[in-house]
Structure 1
Amino acid sequence: MKRLIAPTAAILATALAAMFAAGLTGQQAMAQEASARFGAKDAPEIRLRSTTDLDVLGPAIAAFVAQHPDWAVQFDQWGSNLLYDQTLLECIAESGPKADAVISSAVHQMVDLVNRGCAGTYRSDRTAALSPSLQWRDEVWGITREAAVMIYNRAGVPEADVPHTRFALLDLLRPEASPYRGRVSTYDIEQSGLGYLFAYADSLEASTFGALMESFARTGAVATCCSSEIIESVASGDMLIAYNILGSYAQSHADPRVGIVWPEDYTLVLSRGFLLPKGSAQAEGGALLLDFLLSGQGQRVMAQSGLVATLDDTEGSNTEALVPAGALRPIRIEPTLLVARDAEKRARFLARWREVFAR
């Protein structure tokens, strides 16, 4: 039985603060990072909100409307934390406009929304064909396959220094006179839901997690919000190495100044979650979009943007350093992710993080 949980004061405060600061109301209240419409002007509109960069997911949406010209898609790109807050607020309100489809890399937040009774149920041949680790209760589905990688500046990091494991990264940061002091970057887990998820998964997986946090603190590592910002800082040479970055974004940038490493000790694998908000105006259209993204054509188009990556040493792999299948650590879409949303555990985790990146 689904359990609807009242919103926390922090969630409501975040939403109201954004509204008053911007002087806006309704859907415009939350900061949209990018927006575009695909399809005919007079076609019924599917409102899609996603954390995925518009230029990365856009080709798949364009392919969808080309195959389904009777539909249009309004694509709004959001940050993960604000997307979660807005989706939850619209769920609690029960009436009023809401998204018809939500796609987020912060899948622990998507599982939480399902647990709160905010998702519509849907089942088709394509959703049923997904692995059990890529769906939960016919209400959230994993549609991509992306690795958490390390990236480095090719000019600034000698080949002998390129870290292929977390242990190697620790070795680079150990010397007092390390040239990498203050030149390593990662996601700010308070601003990025994806960054939080990766850090939390690391804390469960790696014996190196504590040592990495200590090393980041000692060497002045930099935490920032966004994939594009981090990748550009590495490309420019302001940063030399970045840790736990989505490989799909690194690949889509295709910058020859940036090298990509899939860690050989283990590589986290993310599948972005797709959710159909309960009571949306165009639930049929949202379900049609889901089935398209899970289809062979949808997967091929997303693969061209790096959203569906070859994960091991099979022929045709697009990785720079192939990783054995045994090193892959998929993040399963399942209720155990709710632990990452536990208020007490999250508070302790964030407090530790703030100590590391205190300025």
Structure 2
Amino acid sequence: MMACTACLAQEDSAVFGLPTATETLIVRSTTDIGVFAPVMLDFLASRPNLAIAYEQWGSNDLATLAASHCAAGSGSADLVISSAVDLQVQLVNNGCAVAHRSPATDALPAARNWRNEIFGITEEPAVLIYNIQLVAPDEVPLSRFDLIDLLRPADSRFVGRVATYDIEASGLGYLFAFMDSLQANTFGRLLEAFGRSGAVATCCSAELIDAVADGRYLIAYNVLGSYALARADKDPRIGVRAPSDYALVLSRAALIPKHAKNVGAAGGFIDFLLSSAGQTALSEARLVVRIGGADGADFDLPGGGPSSLRPIALSPILLAGMDQHKRRIFLDQWRQNLRQK
């Protein structure tokens, strides 16, 4: 992970808070600024002396940058938040985070708090999305089994029209694919179906969602549900559902880097994110997503219901996917079945 930092690319940045603020919290994150801005503004509403300098990064570059600053002993952000939680766990395992403990962090389930150094702040499922205008209701796959069946016929109209993340370019995509390989006895059959039908591996959440909305792809698999739902709220072409066989659930991970300068404000922001007010703000930003069964009430999207949820625990188990030998084998298997865009 120790690549040259000059090669890394920040995607966007913004400063939030009053110009008279006397203190700055530096946050580096994979979360889109437009999605996370209302949450930060809620946090700052009662803190007029604090500003947030927010930097948006791709997950792989963010992890490389954080590791470089950890090794150098300088340049760290005050808080790093990433959807590539395996890369975050690796940073913690390498001694690149400091502990923070509070009633809010103590109340977290074990799957969302490891060593009091990394904290899951959201609940975001991996979902199937589809173009409502181009995919008939009886064609919408409710599960991975349904998706495999859609792709099975040689003359399927879904040939070349299904996409997922390029797991070499997307840390999140790699995480979802690797967790699928551990969770599902359908994984091999799904990869085979992808290969046989010419499924496409492409970049990021926004590109996948745009391509489905435009009709370039009819279905996208394992898309981050928070971004998909936020887009579906504004775009009637996008349909979203959690697979009924099981739904991976990501908790976006926050950590305070070892050499952070504003540890107090970073801990305060973590506590806010875990508070009732913070979780409400995250829910309104579609970063906390509730899944219900077909007849359920009070949920954000249909799926198998609570019994089908498979939370991705923040634990050393995630390091298995980071092993270079295992990663090489897994990527080779993936390349053999998916064509890159």
Please tell me the TM-score bracket, short chain as reference.
over 0.9
Match of 2:28 among 29, 44, 49: 49
Match of 1:174 among 108, 130, 152: 152
Match of 1:224 among 202, 219, 228: 202
> What is the TM-score of this pair, normalised by structure 2?
0.96
- Post-superposition shift, 1:358? 4.2
Q: Alignment partner of 1:98: what SS?
A: coil
Aligned position for 2:305: 324
Structure 1 or 2: more strand by fraction: 2
Q: In terms of mean alpha carbon deviation, does 114-123 or 51-60 score higher?
A: 51-60
Aligned position for 1:262: 242
Q: Deviations over 1:3-56 (max 9, x none)?
A: xxxxxxxx334x35xx26xxxxxxxxx311121110122421111011111111
Q: Is the 8 A contact 2:247 2:309 kept in 1?
A: yes
- Post-superposition shift, 1:312? 3.4
C-alpha separation between the residues in 1 aligned to 2:199 and 2:47?
A: 47
- 5 Å matches for 1:1-359? 11-13=1-3, 15-16=4-5, 19=6, 30-43=8-21, 44-94=23-73, 96-253=74-231, 254=233, 255-313=235-293, 315-319=297-301, 321-358=302-339
What is the root-mean-square deviation in Å for CA atoms of aligned residues?
Answer: 1.2
C-alpha separation between the residues in 2 aligned to 1:148 and 1:167?
A: 16
- Post-superposition shift, 1:305? 1.4
Instruction: Write the letter of the residue equivalent to 1:164.
Output: L
> What is the TM-score of this pair, normalised by structure 1?
0.91
Q: Is the 8 A contact 1:134 1:333 kept in 2?
A: yes
C-alpha separation between the residues in 2 aligned to 1:122 and 1:129?
A: 13
- Post-superposition shift, 1:220? 1.2
Q: Is the 8 A contact 2:26 2:79 kept in 1?
A: yes
Q: Deviations over 1:245-288 (max 9, x none)?
A: 01100111121101111100111111000000012111111111
Question: After TM superposition, where is structure 1 displaced by more than 6 Å over at least 4 residues in a row?
Answer: none
Q: Is the 8 A contact 1:97 1:281 kept in 2?
A: no
Query: How many corresponding residue pairs?
Result: 335
Instruction: Write the letter of the residue equivalent to 2:325.
Output: E
C-alpha separation between the residues in 2 aligned to 1:48 and 1:228?
A: 22
Q: Structure 2 regions of 5+ residues with no counterpart?
A: none
Q: Is the 8 A contact 1:105 1:272 kept in 2?
A: yes
Q: Structure 1 regions of 5+ residues with no counterpart?
A: 1-10, 21-29
C-alpha separation between the residues in 1 aligned to 2:211 and 2:303?
A: 25
C-alpha separation between the residues in 2 aligned to 1:66 and 1:338?
A: 38
C-alpha separation between the residues in 2 aligned to 1:250 and 1:146?
A: 10
